[in-house]
Each structure stands twice: as structure tokens, then as C-alpha cells.
Amino acid sequence: MTNNTTRHKVLWAIITVLVMIYALFPVASILATSFKTPSDLTSGKFLPSSGTATTSNYEQILVGDAQGLFLSALRNSVGIALIATFVAVVLATLCAYAIARLDFPGKKVILTTALAVSIFPVISIVTPLFNLWRTIGLYDTWLGLIIPYLSLTLPISIWTLAAFFRQIPWELEQAAQVDGATTWQAFRKAIIPLAAPGVFTTAIIAFFIAWNDFVYGISLTSTEAARPVPAALAFFTGASQFESPTGAISAAAIIVTIPVVLLVLLFQRQIVSGLTSGAVKG
């Protein structure tokens, strides 16, 4: 099937370029906008007018007026997303392992419930949650966001990881047990190292979900105590009421994109599949 003729290569190159333009154009546009002065925003050009490119938008959100709003939101976003991801991955790993390996009553129920929760529209839960959180004192706290984020990240984590665990040959674990390992040791020494790429992939997906959330972020917070970046962006204001804060928002958007890009670059190696090759024949 591998037909490495020049024509094929050219074809693939064209497709790649098209997809890249499609995917990266909005990012490039925002990047360009983030360097524009407020007066330049409506120029209708892609790049800032020559000579007017400015970093004032970044200064504004990092050290200027909007600093309090943006930096605390960034801290909240990082903290909440990381904690939610970590908890989701640990719970999902154990849960998915049980689902992949054990035959217990209610296994189907757990899986379908997880699926049902993940397809449940967020907007329909947010009002009851708002009332509930206010009553029990979770409104506008980190925990108040981490819990709903878990409901978003856990189902998808369980599904991805369960699929991953199913690929790991059971014999490996049994071999480890025969070799003298306890169930826990077999899990830790034979299964976890093999599941690592799956765990990383899942963690990244979970992180993105928590990082990108807007509805919970804006509904369940009221102050800088817990407001995450996507929600905080909505509170940006221009220098005067006649000025739109597009530049600052673009700058903030670029900054919040950076961790995501970094994550993918860092874990690129772990995400590659095929680590299990060589365990068993065929």
C-alpha cells in the first residue's frame, strides 16, 4: 500500500498545507490582532499597520489595569484545571481498569451512566448547581468548579482509558502474578507503564476540557477568588466605554493558548502509540 511516488508526496503535502491553513489561520489572526492598537482594530487588514505594532495589550493584562483580573484568573484556571485533571485521571484509571478486567454486576450501568452524564447538556445543570452551591457554600470556590469539571472529564477519561486497558494483553498481568506479584504490584509494574501513553492522552484531553470550560466558569463564580480565564475575558473592558477590549482579549487568548501548546509539545513522545509492541506475538 505504501506508494511513495513523488506524486503521492506532493498530494500529501498539498493536503497538509490546506489543513494547516484551515486550523491555524484563526490563531494567526488572533496573534496579529493582539499586537494591534485600539485604533488599528478596524483597519480590515490582517497584520497591524506598519509601525503601529504594539505590545501594549500584553502590558495591559500582565502589568497594567487588567492585571488583577487576568493574573488571578490565570492562577485559578491553572490550579482548577490541574487538580480536576489529576483527580479525574487517577479515578478514571482505577475505574477503567476495573471495567476492562473485571466482570462485576452493574458494569454496563456504570459505563452507560458515564456516557449519559457526558452527553447531558451543561447548561441544563448549571442553574440547579448554582442554587445548590450557594446553599452549601461552594459558590465561588475552587472546589465548586472542580466538582462539575470532574463530571465533564471523568466520563470521557473512563471511556478512553477503558479502551486502552482492553488493548493490554491480560497475559502480562497474569505472568506478573505467577512471577510473584500481588494484584496491586502487577497493576503498578506491568500495566501502568504500558498504559502510560493512554494515561497521558487522557490527561491532556481532560485538561483541555477543564481549561476550555466557559459556562460553569461564568455561572458558578462571582469574584477573582475562583473565576477562570474564559470567564474573566468576558469582564475585560476597554480604556473607555467607547473602546472595545478586542486587543486585550486577543492577547489573553494567546497567553492561555500557550500552556496547551506546551503540553502537547512536552508529551508528544508519550502520546505515541505502539509502546506495547513486543509484549506478545502479533
Partner 1 sequence: MASITLNHLVKKYGDGFPAVNDISIDIADGEFIILVGPSGCGKSTLLRMIVGLEDITDGDLLIDGQRVNDKAPRDRNLAMVFQNYALYPHLTVYENIAFPLRLAKGKHSEEQVNKLVTDAAATLELTDHLQRKPANLSGGQRQRVAMGRAIVRQADAFLFDEPLSNLDAKLRGQMRSEISQMQRRLGVTSVYVTHDQTEAMTLGDRVAVLKKGELQQIASPRELYEQPRNLFVAGFIGSPSMNFLPATLEGTTLKTAIGDLEIPEEKARTAAGKKVVLVGVRPEFFEDAKLVEDSKRPHGSTFAATLTHTEWLGNEQYGYITFDPAPEMRELLNSLAREMDADELRPQVVVTLDASSRIRGGRESELWVDTRKLHLFDAESGENLTRDAEAGAALTREAAEERAEEIATAQRADGRSESGSANGSDGAVRDSATVDAGRTGGATAAGGKHSAG
Cβ nearer to partner 1, comparing 50 with 103: 103
Are the C-beta atoms of 141 and 132 separated by less than 8 Å?
no
Cell of 93: 484509571
Q: Least distance to partner 1 from the beta carbon of 274, Å? A: 9
How many whole angstroms separate alpha carbon 141 and alpha carbon 224?
Answer: 10
Q: Does 279 engage in binding with partner 1 (CB under 8 A)?
A: yes
Q: Which stretch binds partner 1 (CB under 8 A): 32-40, 60-68, 105-113, 270-278?
A: 270-278
Q: Does 271 engage in binding with partner 1 (CB under 8 A)?
A: no
- Taking residues 166 to 205 in sequence order and writing x for each that binds partner 1 by CB under 8 A, - otherwise, the string is ---x-xx-xxxxxxxxx--x---xx--xx-----------
Give the residue from 252, 246, 163 showing the smallest Cα distance to 202: 163
CA distances from 226 to 2, 76, 108, 127 (A): 52, 6, 36, 18
Q: Does 67 engage in binding with partner 1 (CB under 8 A)?
A: no
**DSSP per residue, 212-266:** H--HHHHHS--STTT--HHHHHTT---SSTTS--HHHHHHHHHHHHHHHHHHHHH
Q: Which stretch binds partner 1 (CB under 8 A): 71-79, 164-172, 234-242, 261-269?
A: 164-172
How many whole angstroms separate alpha carbon 38 and alpha carbon 57?
Answer: 9
Binders of partner 1: how many residues, by CB under 8 A? 25
Cβ nearer to partner 1, comparing 120 with 170: 170
Q: Least distance to partner 1 from the beta carbon of 198, Å? A: 13
Q: Does 270 engage in binding with partner 1 (CB under 8 A)?
A: no
Q: Does 282 engage in binding with partner 1 (CB under 8 A)?
A: yes
Q: Least distance to partner 1 from the beta carbon of 55, Å? A: 46
Residues numbered 83-142 forming contacts with partner 1, rule: CB under 8 A: none
Q: Which amino acid is at 203?
A: A
Q: Which of left, alpha, beta for 277 (phi over 0: left; psi -120 to 50: alpha)?
A: beta
Q: Does 277 engage in binding with partner 1 (CB under 8 A)?
A: yes
**List of residues 6+ apart from 164 with CB closer than 8 A:** 96, 195, 197, 198, 199, 201, 202
Cβ nearer to partner 1, comparing 35 with 97: 97
Given the rule CB under 8 A, which residues bind partner 1?
Answer: 169, 171-172, 174-182, 185, 189-190, 193-194, 275-282
